[in-house]
C-alpha cells in the first residue's frame, strides 16, 4: 500500500489533496512539507528522513552574589544534521527580556530593566564575529553566516563569553534572587535555538510566558561560587568528594542507596561550618547528557534533604531525589519524600515509564517551574505541596524526555503534567480531584481549540488551552481506552519520540495506530474545535413491551464525554451505568439507556467528578 502511495505522489500535482487523504484531521498547509520530505509519517513514527540538530556545551560560570551577576563562557559544538545549508545561526538570550525596549508579556520591575545580556566575546571556528554580522532582536542574537554558511552534516565550534545581572525583584518570573545569598538561575546562557523540519529557526521570542523548545545537548559545566555556598544543578554532581567533608559526603552517598530521606545538611550545620572542605571559591562540576537545558541554584544557608528511589525494576536503577529549602518553608520538610514517591508512581503507573533522569532537585524558590532535573517551587505552607511537587517533576517526561515544542503546543506538556499531578497526588494524599475547573469555563469565548498555536494566546485562553482542557481530554481518553491500552499507547509514543521533537500529529497518529482505533472522532472536537462538553437527562419513558424504563440522554455539547448514571429505583435499589464517550462517535445526539426490567425509576444523577460537564442543571431527574 505504501508503495502505491509513493508512486501516486509523483503523479499528483495537487499535493495537498493527496495528503489530506492520509488523515481526515485538519493538517496545516505549512506542515505538509514534513510529510513530503519524509521527516514525519502518517503512521505516527518519525519519518525515514527525520533529523534534528544537536550541540554540546562546555561552560564555566561564576555567580557573584553581591552584584547578582552571572559571568559565563562556553565552548559550544553545534552539529547541523539537517539537509539544509544554514545561512544564519540563532542564539536565544532569555535574559534579554530585561533589556530596555524588549517585548514582555508581563510588567517587570523598572529597576531591573537594563542592558540585558552583555556579549563580551563571540567567535565561530576561532574567528571573531564582527558587530555588523550580529543582529540583536527581541531575545535573539542572530549571526549572519552568508559569507560562510554551515553546510549539511558540518559542525561549528563557537566560543562565547557573556554576563548579565539577575533581576532584584523577588517576584521575577523563573529567576529567583530569593534572598541576598540564595539564587535560582534558569535560561542563563546563550543557547542555540531550535532549527527544525517544521518551521526552520524557532522564532518565538522569550517574552515571559513561553517555556521550552530546545534541542538535546550534552553539558559539562563548572560553577564557581563564593566559599560557603552549595550549588544544585542539572545533571550529576561530579566532584562531591572535593567539596564535602567526610561525614557529609557519607550522607550524600548513603542517600543514593536508601529509600529513606537523609538530611545531608541543615542550615544550622552550614552556619556552624565544617560541611565543606576548605576551598575558596567553591568550584562545582555537573554533567548531563541528552537534556534540553541546564539550570543551577545556589545558597549558603539552605537545608538539603535527599533520598533515592528505584525507577526501573529490571535494572534496579535508582534516581537521586533532593529538596533544598529555607528553614522557614514548613512544607518543604516533606518535599523530598513526596517527590520520591511521585517518581515511583510515574515510573510504574502514570505514565508508567522508567523515570529517565539520574537525579531531581526541588529547590525552594519563587515559582512553579520545571527544568531538566531541577524545579523552582515556591513554598505553599501552610498548604500541602503534593500537587505542585508532582506536577513539576512530571514535566520530566513532557516536555523534556519528549522534546515537546511547548512554545507552540503547550497542551502537549502542561495538559499531561496536570493530568499526572491530579491522579498521582490523589494516590499519595487520598484526596479525590475533580474536573469542575474546566467545566466551569468550557465553551466561553476564551476556551479556544488547543490546536491554536500557544504563542498566539494569552491567559486565560493560554491556560485553558494548555492546562485544563487537555487535562480533561486525557482523562476522558483514559476512560475510553482503559488503563491497559492507554498505557500501551503512552509507552509506544515515548519509545518512538523520546529524545526527538513530536508534533501534535505524531501524537494523534501514534495513538491511533497503537490503540488499533481511529480516534479522530475524539481528537477533532477536543483539540480542533470550539465547543464544550454537556450531556443532560432529556426524559424517562416507559417501554411497555419490555416492561422497563428507558432513560434518554441528550448530548447538548460537541465535546464527547462518557455517560455515568446513578439510577435509583422506587423499590430502593440502585445501579450504576457507565458508557464510554465513543457512544457519540458518529455524531449521535441522543442515547437511550434501558433500565432493569420490572422496575420503576425514582430518581437519576448523571455524571461524576471525572466527567467535565458545562451545564449540570440538566443532570438530575426525579419522578414527580
**Cβ 417 to Zn ion shortest distance, Å:** 4
Considering beta carbons, is residue 299 or 418 the nearer one to Zn ion? 418
- Helix (H) or strand (E) segment spanning residue 186: none
Here the cell at position 522 is 475524539
Considering beta carbons, is residue 276 or 411 the nearer one to Zn ion? 411
Query: Which of the ranges 344-352, 408-416, 503-511, 602-610 carries the binding residues for Zn ion, by CB under 5 A?
Result: 408-416
CA angle 499, 502, 505 (to 5 degrees): 160
Cell 443532560 belongs to 536
Residue 417 in contact with Zn ion, rule: CB under 5 A:
yes
Between the alpha carbon of residue 560 and those of residues 25, 220, 530, 532, 557, the distances in Å are 16, 48, 13, 9, 8
CA distance 178 to 171: 9
Considering beta carbons, is residue 93 or 335 the nearer one to Zn ion? 335
Residue 424 in contact with Zn ion, rule: CB under 5 A:
no
Here the cell at position 146 is 552568508
**Cβ 506 to Zn ion shortest distance, Å:** 21
Nearest to 308 by CA among 320, 316, 317, 296: 320
Query: Which of the ranges 13-21, 139-147, 414-422, 435-443 carries the binding residues for Zn ion, by CB under 5 A?
Result: 414-422
Residue 404 in contact with Zn ion, rule: CB under 5 A:
no
Here the cell at position 303 is 537545608
Considering beta carbons, is residue 415 or 536 the nearer one to Zn ion? 415
Residue 425 in contact with Zn ion, rule: CB under 5 A:
no
Considering beta carbons, is residue 209 or 308 the nearer one to Zn ion? 209
Instruction: Map the footprint of Zn ion across residues 96-125, applying CB under 5 A.
Output: none
CA dihedral 196→286→57→317, nearest 10 degrees, is -40
Considering beta carbons, is residue 331 or 414 the nearer one to Zn ion? 414
How many amino acids of this chain bind Zn ion (CB under 5 A)? 2
- Tell me the H-state helices in 309-363: 335-348
Instruction: Map the footprint of Zn ion across residues 161-220, applying CB under 5 A.
Output: none
- Give the DSSP letter of residue 132: G
Q: By beta-carbon distance, which residue lies closest to Zn ion? A: 417
CA distance 53 to 501: 11
Instruction: Map the footprint of Zn ion across residues 445-504, applying CB under 5 A.
Output: none
**Cβ 366 to Zn ion shortest distance, Å:** 15
Considering beta carbons, is residue 215 or 414 the nearer one to Zn ion? 414
Considering beta carbons, is residue 275 or 417 the nearer one to Zn ion? 417
Query: Which of the ranges 226-234, 345-353, 396-404, 415-423 carries the binding residues for Zn ion, by CB under 5 A?
Result: 415-423
**Cβ 340 to Zn ion shortest distance, Å:** 20
Q: Which residues contact 435 (CB under 8 A, 6 or more apart)?
A: 468, 471, 472, 475, 609, 610, 611, 612
Residue 61 in contact with Zn ion, rule: CB under 5 A:
no
**Cβ 411 to Zn ion shortest distance, Å:** 11
Residue 183: exposure state from Cβ atoms within 10 A (0-12, 13-18, ≥19): buried
**Cβ 197 to Zn ion shortest distance, Å:** 26
Here the cell at position 159 is 566560543
Query: Which of the ranges 96-104, 411-419, 489-497, 542-550 carries the binding residues for Zn ion, by CB under 5 A?
Result: 411-419
Here the cell at position 190 is 546563550
Considering beta carbons, is residue 220 or 408 the nearer one to Zn ion? 408
Considering beta carbons, is residue 417 or 457 the nearer one to Zn ion? 417
The helix/strand/coil state of 178 is: strand
The helix/strand/coil state of 619 is: coil
CA distance 131 to 118: 13
Here the cell at position 176 is 529567583
Residues engaged in binding Zn ion (CB under 5 A): 414, 417
Amino acid at each position: 500500500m505504501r508503495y502505491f502511495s509513493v508512486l501516486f505522489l509523483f503523479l499528483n500535482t495537487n499535493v495537498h489533496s493527496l495528503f489530506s487523504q492520509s488523515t481526515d484531521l485538519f493538517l496545516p498547509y505549512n506542515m505538509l512539507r514534513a510529510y513530503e520530505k519524509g521527516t514525519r509519517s502518517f503512521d505516527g513514527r518519525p519519518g525515514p528522513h527525520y533529523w534534528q540538530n544537536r550541540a554540546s556545551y562546555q561552560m564555566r560560570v561564576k555567580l557573584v552574589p553581591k552584584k547578582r551577576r552571572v559571568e559565563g563562557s562556553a565552548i559550544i559544538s553545534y552539529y547541523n544534521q539537517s539537509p539544509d545549508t544554514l545561512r544564519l545561526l540563532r542564539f536565544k538570550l532569555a535574559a534579554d527580556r530585561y533589556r530596555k525596549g524588549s517585548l514582555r508579556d508581563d510588567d517587570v520591575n523598572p529597576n531591573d530593566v537594563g542592558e540585558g545580556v552583555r556579549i563580551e566575546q563571540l567567535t565561530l571556528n576561532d574567528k571573531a564575529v564582527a558587530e555588523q554580522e550580529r543582529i540583536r532582536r527581541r531575545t535573539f542574537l542572530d549571526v549572519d553566516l552568508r559569507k560562510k554558511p554551515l553546510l549539511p552534516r558540518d559542525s561549528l565550534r563557537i566560543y562565547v563569553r557573556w554576563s548579565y545581572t539577575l533581576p532584584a525583584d523577588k517576584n521575577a518570573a523563573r529567576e529567583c534572587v530569593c534572598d541576598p545569598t540564595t539564587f535560582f538561575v534558569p535560561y542563563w546562557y546563550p543557547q542555540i535555538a531550535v532549527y527544525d523540519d517544521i518551521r526552520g529557526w524557532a522564532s518565538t521570542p522569550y517574552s515571559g510566558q513561553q517555556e521550552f523548545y530546545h534541542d538535546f545537548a550534552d553539558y559539562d559545566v563548572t560553577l564557581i561560587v563564593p566559599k560557603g555556598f552549595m550549588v544544585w544543578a542539572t545533571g550529576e554532581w561530579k566532584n562531591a568528594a572535593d567539596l564535602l567533608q567526610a561525614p557529609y559526603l557519607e550522607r550524600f552517598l548513603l542517600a543514593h542507596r536508601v529509600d529513606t530521606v537523609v538530611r545531608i545538611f541543615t542550615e544550622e550545620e552550614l552556619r556552624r561550618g565544617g560541611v565543606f572542605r576548605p576551598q575558596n571559591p567553591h568550584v562545582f562540576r555537573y554533567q548531563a547528557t541528552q537534556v534540553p537545558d541546564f539550570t543551577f541554584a545556589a545558597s549558603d544557608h539552605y537545608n538539603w534533604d535527599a533520598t533515592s528511589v528505584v525507577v526501573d525494576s529490571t535494572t534496579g536503577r535508582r534516581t537521586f531525589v533532593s529538596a533544598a529549602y529555607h528553614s522557614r518553608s514548613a512544607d518543604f520538610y516533606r518535599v523530598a519524600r513526596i517527590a520520591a514517591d511521585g517518581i515511583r508512581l510515574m515510573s510504574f503507573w502514570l505514565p508508567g515509564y522508567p523515570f529517565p533522569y539520574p537525579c531531581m532537585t526541588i529547590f525552594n524558590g519563587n515559582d512553579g517551574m520545571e527544568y531538566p532535573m531541577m524545579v523552582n517551587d515556591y513554598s505553599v505552607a501552610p498548604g500541602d505541596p503534593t500537587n505542585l511537587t508532582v506536577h513539576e517533576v512530571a514535566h520530566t517526561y513532557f516536555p523534556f524526555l519528549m522534546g515537546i515544542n511547548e512554545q507552540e503546543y503547550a497542551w502537549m506538556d502542561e495538559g499531561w503534567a496536570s493530568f499526572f499531578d491530579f491522579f498521582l497526588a490523589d494516590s499519595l494524599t487520598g484526596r479525590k480531584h475533580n474536573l469542575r475547573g474546566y467545566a466551569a469555563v468550557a465553551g466561553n469565548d476564551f476556551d479556544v481549540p488547543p490546536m491554536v498555536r500557544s504563542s498566539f494566546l494569552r491567559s486565560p485562553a493560554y491556560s485553558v488551552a494548555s492546562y485544563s482542557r487537555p487535562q480533561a481530554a486525557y482523562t476522558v481518553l483514559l476512560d475510553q481506552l482503559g488503563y491497559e491500552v492507554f498505557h500501551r499507547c503512552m509507552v509506544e509514543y515515548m519509545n518512538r519520540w523520546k529524545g526527538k521533537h513530536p508534533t501534535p500529529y505524531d501524537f494523534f497518529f501514534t495513538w491511533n495506530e497503537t490503540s488499533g482505533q481511529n480516534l479522530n472522532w475524539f481528537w477533532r472536537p477536543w483539540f480542533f474545535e470550539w465547543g464544550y462538553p454537556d450531556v443532560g437527562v432529556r426524559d424517562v419513558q416507559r417501554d411497555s413491551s419490555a416492561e422497563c424504563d428507558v432513560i434518554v440522554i441528550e448530548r447538548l455539547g460537541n465535546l464527547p464525554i462518557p455517560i455515568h448514571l446513578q439510577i435509583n429505583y422506587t423499590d430502593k435499589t440502585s445501579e450504576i451505568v457507565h458508557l464510554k464517550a465513543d457512544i457519540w462517535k458518529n455524531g449521535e445526539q441522543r442515547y437511550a439507556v434501558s433500565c432493569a426490567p420490572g422496575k420503576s425509576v425514582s430518581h437519576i444523577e448523571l455524571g461524576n467528578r471525572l466527567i467535565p460537564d458545562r451545564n449540570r442543571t440538566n443532570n438530575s431527574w426525579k419522578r414527580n
